[in-house]
Structure formats: structure tokens, C-alpha cells
Amino acid sequence: MKFPFAQPPGQLPATERARSWRWLVPVLLVLLFLAVLIWLPWQARQMEATERQEQLIADTLWVEQTLRFELTRSEEALAALGTELVSRPPAPQVLQARFAQMFKNGPELLRVVWYDADGQVMASHGQEPPTALPAPTQLAADVANATRRGRYSEPYGATDASSGVIDFYLPLYKGGQRAGSLVATYSLQVLLDEAVPWWFAQDNALSLLDREDDVVARRASGGPGRGVYTHRRELDLPGALVVLATDSVKRAPQLLPNLLVGSVIVLALGLVLSLGALWRHISRTLAAEAALRQQMAFRTAMENSLITGLRARDLEGRVTYVNRAFCEIVGLPAEELVGKKPPMPYWAPEVMLEYEERFRGVLSGNITPQFETVFQRPDGTRVPVLVYEAPLVDADGRQTGWMSSVQDITDRKRAEELNRQQQEKLETSARLATMGEISSMLAHELNQPLAAISSYTAGALNVLDRSAQAGEPLKPGMLKHALEQARQQAQRAGQIIRSVHEFVKKREPRRETITIRSVIDGVHALVDLQARQAGVVLRVDMAPQLPPVLADRVLLEQVLLNLTRNAIEAMQDTRADQRVLRIVAAHDDGMVTVSVVDRGHGIAPEVAAGLFSPFYSTKAEGMGMGLSISRTAIEFHGGTLTHAPNPEGGTIFTFALPAQAAGAALG
């Protein structure tokens, strides 16, 4: 039997589905209204917090300028008085009157002292002059006398019960000769009390901090700050670092009162407030337009004063703005750049493909934030530049283009090239000097395999002659043994010659993935040669499965050879049974380390201070460049070169390089 009105299981009639939708729409609207009602006060709270922070920053900047103005005015008064004291010193009564006027104009002054060229007190006013200048003031005096300019000391004298003071040291000169000095002492607490208005101190806790962030003066009329709205501003004092820190006593805006009060006010006075808001909006718009024009003029002047080129492009790559510095870099006026799309007239032909590929990335929204390239001026001059790019975003958060800052790095490139050439010359000189030191040992070492080859070949010939004379069959075993020994000695001599050739060969630094084992094997013959000549036993200890490094093999071999040679020379006076040179390779915390351990005389503390300085040597015939070049070579690879005393006596030199592939199963 069929039931015509039966519905499939799990399905509702059409009328019930329509009724559910009618209920769903009002519920969604109510939820939306509640969400907006909650979001608006929250947003107002965020805006209020932002406005308070911005106001605090602006007020802090004003207070900083006020403090600096007070000190600058005092500096000018001291400078005028110093000029008069040098040219025609006034009578004591007149001088004291001048001092009294300065103290009246600047209540923060505690003491003013006039010293002659020998440091004797000529006149003073205020507190009793100290018997000797405090350490911070003496340090400022040394710098001021060297620069012939007034200088502030670091704040000093602050305790839990009293605030700190700061001195201004002004050197006096007459006819190019030092004629004395003026030293003014200021109370930072009085400066803070007198310069900061009461209304600002009532709402904010102010502190003056020294270089160590210790409080040297504090004013908190309204109580301690809450740490919600804070700002720090450095006072621009020559020679001293004094930071003005402000901490508002206001707490963060509360959400619930804003929600309740704001809802009632908006619903009850909406119409009146809307009319007032409209009138205020028009007034503010006119004021904002005037301020915007002023800011645009200021920004234009500021951008034209920069030496960094600025270039703006839209999303299609069309240039929309360039500043004066950019025009000077490319040698083209702004009229020939603004509005143009690639290819640009300043693109150099040799890097055209690079430009086009990078421009395709710009169109697709993928840019290189920082890169180096070359621009070409109309006269053909190439200009190396460093380019930084960032997205341009409008007020709605939409990207409208790209902003680039361009720096002319011609001087830097020239300096880098000169430094590279000088470094290459030093490295070559060091390698040649090293080979000069071991040349005699090399000749002696090559004589041994050559003499052995001669002996083994002569023995082989004797075997052949005896077999021929006696008519006996030739014994291949004896002949093979002699020839095999001769071959090994020839390979040994060839290895020594190849090591020397690779070491002294001049070439450009080339980074490649290499293993520390191959570096040690490359200089093993040379190191062993020097060690045996000096009666030193060479031991090599390498951890298994050392990861590779990205480095220049020859540079690392030069470093290792220099360190081992120094270690061998350090053990000249060591007992024969203690002359052991160890080369230890290990892997620790992403770094591959190589240590050269000797048991020599060690390094004295006074020698360790200048050990890596160029041209510093404790050897009579040394150049003083070996360790300096070694450290430069290791730092070129992103590593470090250090030394430490050997607990068993002697020294341990260790260089560490970043592992190229952590955990790689390479020796």
C-alpha cells in the first residue's frame, strides 16, 4: 500500500523549511546587531588607548625639547662668560654678579667653577668646589680638551635618598693655547622640577635614567605610573646619555562603562550629535587639508635632502614618483622617468635579462626585498646600487604598488675590491713565506724517497743480472717487491710536490662543499715533514661521520699549516718525549671544529691581547701576519678562530666552521 503524503525519512516538509529560514534571518540580524554593539565600544577603547599613547609621545617630545632648551641656554651663557674671561677677565665683584645672574636664570645650577690652565680654582659660585674632579667629569674633560668643545659628563651621585647631578665641562682657549676651563654642575632633580609643567607631572611619572638605566632624577606628582602608556626619549647631550622616561598614571580604558554609557548616549542624542559631528567634521577636514599641504611640503623638502634614491611604482610597474637623489643616481630628470613602464632607460644591457625576470616577479606580486644590481647613466657610466623594495599600501589596506630605496654603493664596491686585492696579496705572501721556511726541509725530505727509489731499482737490476749470469729462472716475487717499494716512494715524493704546488698556487677564493678530512689529508705530508724535522710526533684524531663544510680548500689548508707550524716551533724547548702535536676534528652544535694542540711554552697574558693583530709577532724573523690572515680567512667562511691554554701544558688553537649538512655521513 502507498501513502501519498508520506515523506522520505529525515526530510522536512517545504513549509517547515521556509518557517525555519524566517526565524533564522531575524536571529542572524540580532546576533549581527549585538556583535556590532560590542565591537564598536571595543574599537573605541582601542582608539582611545592609541590616542593616549600618541599624546604621551608628543608631550614627552615637548618636555625633552624644554629640558634641552634650558641646558642649551645655560651652555650659551657659559660660552659667553668663558670668552670674556679669556679676553678681559672682569673684576671679582662683577664676576660674582654674573654668576648670580646665571643662577637666577637657571635654578638647576648648583655650582660654577672657573679653573686656570693648571687646574687651580680662580673663582666659583654656589656649592663648594670639589678638591678633584669626579671621575665622570674628568673623563668628559679629557674628551673636551681633545676636541676643544664643551662636553657633559655622565650623571653621577644618585642614591636612594638624593638625585644625581651632571657636569658641563667647557675648555677655554686663548690664541690657540689652553687658558683654563669652566665647569658647571646641574641638579637633574631641579631641572626636572622646574622645566616640566605641573599638569604634565600630575598625569605622568617622569624619570631621568643614566646609561645603565638607573634613575638619577624622578618626579611623580600624581603617583607612580601604571606601565600602560610609556615612552623613552634620549636627551641630545654631547658626551652623556640621559634618557627621559615617562609613565602615565592613567589606566587602560574600560570596556563595560564605554558599552553602557556609549549605547545610551548614541541612542538618545544621535541626531544632535550627528549634526554637531557633521559641522566638526567639516572644520576638521579643512584643518586637515591645510595640515596635509604643510606636511607634503615638509616631506618633499625632506626627500630632496636625502642621498638615498626613492622610486615608487604602481602594480603595472609604471614609475609614479622619484626623488632628486634617484635622478642623480641614474643621471635622468624626473620628467623622463615618471609615467614610464619597463624597459627603463637606466637598465644596463648586460643585466637586461635579470631586470626583465625581476619585473615579471613584481607583476606577479613576488619581489626580492633586497638585491644589488647595476644602473647605466646616459653617458654609459655604470653605477652599482643596492635596492630595497617594500609594498605600498593605501589607507584601506590595499596594495597600490611598490616603493624602492636605492643606494649608490660605488665607493663600497671600490673599497671591497681594494680590500680583496690586499687580502689576496697578504695570503700569497704568507704562503710564499711559509714555503720559504720549509724549503730546506723539503729538499731533505725528497732526497729520502729518491734515494730509496734508486736503491730499489738498483736491487731489481742486480736480481736480473744474477738470474742471467747463473742461468736460473727469474723469481718474480723479489722483483715485484722491489718495484712496488720504488713505486710507493715515487708516489710519496709526488704527493709532497703536489701539496706544495697546490698550496702556493695563486687563484681566486672558491667556496665548495668539502670535508675536513680532505683538508687535513691535503697538508698531512707537509705537516709531517716539519714535525719529523723538529722531532715532533704528529697524531690526527677525527670523529667519524663529520658533516661537510662550505669553504675554500686552499685557504683552510693555509690556516691549518700556519697553526701547526706555530705549534711545532712552540715545542722547540720541550722535552723530546713530550713533543706531541695533535690535530683533533669534531662536530658540536652545528659546527665542525678543528683543534691544533701543542705542549709548548704556552701564551703569556700580555702576548694574548695582541695575538691576532696584524704585524704583531714574538719571533725575531716573523712577519706578524700569520694569525691575522688565519682569523680573516676563518671569519670569511662565517666561522671563528680562538685559543685556550692546554691543561697538560701548551696551547690549543681551535677554528669552527658552520656544518653544511648536519648529520651527513661524511668523514
| Cβ-Cβ contacts under 8 Å for 441 (sequence gap 6 or more) | 529, 530, 533
- Greater confidence (593 vs 261) lies with 593
Neighbours of 532 (CB within 10 A): 14
Neighbours of 142 (CB within 10 A): 12
- pLDDT > 70? residue 79: yes
- What does pLDDT average to over the chain? 78
- Greater confidence (443 vs 428) lies with 428
- pLDDT > 60? residue 493: yes
Lookup: cell for 222: 600624581
- Greater confidence (189 vs 485) lies with 189
The mean per-residue pLDDT over the stretch 75-98 comes to 90
| pLDDT at 117 (0 to 100) | 87
Q: How far apart are CA 577 and CA 154, in angstroms?
A: 58
- pLDDT > 80? residue 458: no
- Greater confidence (430 vs 403) lies with 403
- pLDDT > 60? residue 502: no
| pLDDT at 621 (0 to 100) | 47
- Greater confidence (218 vs 273) lies with 218
| pLDDT at 168 (0 to 100) | 94
| pLDDT at 475 (0 to 100) | 66
| pLDDT at 38 (0 to 100) | 66
Closest CA to 83 of 151, 174, 167: 174
| pLDDT at 173 (0 to 100) | 92
Q: Which residue, chain included where needed, has cell 657610466? A: 381
| pLDDT at 8 (0 to 100) | 46
**Contact in structure between 169 and 181 (CB atoms under 8 Å):** yes
The mean per-residue pLDDT over the stretch 337-342 comes to 85
pLDDT tens figures, 318-333: 888 888 888 888 888 8
Burial of 617 (0-12, 13-18, 19+ CB in 10 A): middle
| pLDDT at 271 (0 to 100) | 53
Lowest mean pLDDT across 24-38, 157-171, 361-375, 571-585: 24-38
| pLDDT at 663 (0 to 100) | 41
The mean per-residue pLDDT over the stretch 104-132 comes to 90
- pLDDT > 50? residue 273: yes
pLDDT tens figures, 141-173: 999 998 999 999 999 988 877 888 999 999 999
| pLDDT at 2 (0 to 100) | 41
Burial of 125 (0-12, 13-18, 19+ CB in 10 A): buried
